């Protein structure tokens, strides 16, 4: 078994990840004109490392992971991986750090949700498409 993290089966996600890995940096890799960072999670059941490129939402060295899945009715698969294994690697530019994720509630969630919508306004639209409250994690 390889320790190399797995690429997403989703084409556009895999393409973004491959571009970051080829360049060695997240700089210049964007979604809809907005910067992204590369998270590495651990599979809840498999224990395999998995790459998750998401919008760059950062404040004072902390990062948000927004489990929007484009406003789909269910959480993205990586949500369950983060809940099971909150130790996450985040690459921003060429810097790679190990951080711990926790799901947010209340005022703290609202603060990070507002930051997330400012970084990627489509999140607000995604929330209107689903009955679930889109989960937000902070990594610190």
Ordered structural domains, the chain, with CATH: 11-139 (2.30.110.10)
Q: Write out pLDDT tens, residues 63-108.
A: 999 999 999 999 999 999 999 999 999 999 999 999 999 999 999 9
Contact 64, 137 (CB under 8 A): yes
The pTM of the full predicted model, rounded to 2 decimals, is 0.93
- pLDDT band for 2, please (50, 70, 90 cuts): low
- pLDDT band for 1, please (50, 70, 90 cuts): very low
User: What residue spans of 4-121 are helical by DSSP H?
Assistant: 11-23, 77-84, 106-119
């Amino acid at each position: 078994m390889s320790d190399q993290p797995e690429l997403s089966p989703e084409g556009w996600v895999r393409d973004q990840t491959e571009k970051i890995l080829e360049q060695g940096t997240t700089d210049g890799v964007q979604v809809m004109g907005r910067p992204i960072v590369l998270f590495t999670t651990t599979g809840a059941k498999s224990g395999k490392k998995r790459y998750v490129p998401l919008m760059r939402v950062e404040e004072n060295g902390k990062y948000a992971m927004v489990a929007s899945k484009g406003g789909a009715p269910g959480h993205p698969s990586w949500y369950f991986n983060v809940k099971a294994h909150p130790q996450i690697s985040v690459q921003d530019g060429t810097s790679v750090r190990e951080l711990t994720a926790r799901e947010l509630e209340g005022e703290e969630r609202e603060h990070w949700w507002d930051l997330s919508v400012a970084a990627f306004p489509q999140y607000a639209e995604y929330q209107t498409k689903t009955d679930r409250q889109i989960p937000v994690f902070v990594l610190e």
